[in-house]
Amino acid sequence: EVQLVESGGGLVQPGGSLRLSCAASGFTFSSYWMSWVRQAPGKGLEWVAYIKQDGSEKYYVDSVKGRFTISRDNAKNSLYLQMNSLRAEDTAVYYCARVGWWELLYVAFDIWGQGTMVTVSS
């Protein structure tokens, strides 16, 4: 079964750090771009970052650039999101997603994890 399972969420104080993990199974992880998407409570979806198959290309939404780092370990079939200098506005459910189609004219996320909650509060 194709599956993504996130972990690492929790409560952290403003200015703190957290590392999210996403364990992939049921497919050849190293063949796919991967992404993180977040959703603040009661709000819409926001793309956060994505990373190429070999980690050579990474892109971030402006609001997290310089604070968050996406990475992957293909040997462990795992995706990560290191989050530093966390702010209250980073509070959200964070989803790991597989980029099923990476084309010039579109990018589509075909597999999603169940999400992990990150709460930034004092």
Partner 1 sequence: SSELTQDPAVSVALGQTVRITCQGDSLRSCYASWYQQKPGQAPVLVIYGKNNRPSGIPDRFSGSSSGNTASLTITGAQGEDEADYYCKSRDRSGNHLVFGGGSKLTVL
Binding site for partner 1 (CB under 8 A): 35, 37, 44-47, 50, 59, 61, 95, 100-101, 103, 105-110, 112-115
Residue nearer to partner 1 on the CB measure, 75 or 105: 105
Residue nearer to partner 1 on the CB measure, 13 or 63: 63
Least Cβ distance, residue 44 to partner 1 (angstroms) = 4
| Tokens representing residue 102 in the block | 């990476």
Least Cβ distance, residue 122 to partner 1 (angstroms) = 27
**What is the Cα–Cα distance from 119 to 97, expressed in whole angstroms?**
20
Residue nearer to partner 1 on the CB measure, 43 or 75: 43
Least Cβ distance, residue 6 to partner 1 (angstroms) = 10
**What is the Cα–Cα distance from 37 to 53, expressed in whole angstroms?**
17
**What is the Cα–Cα distance from 122 to 1, expressed in whole angstroms?**
39
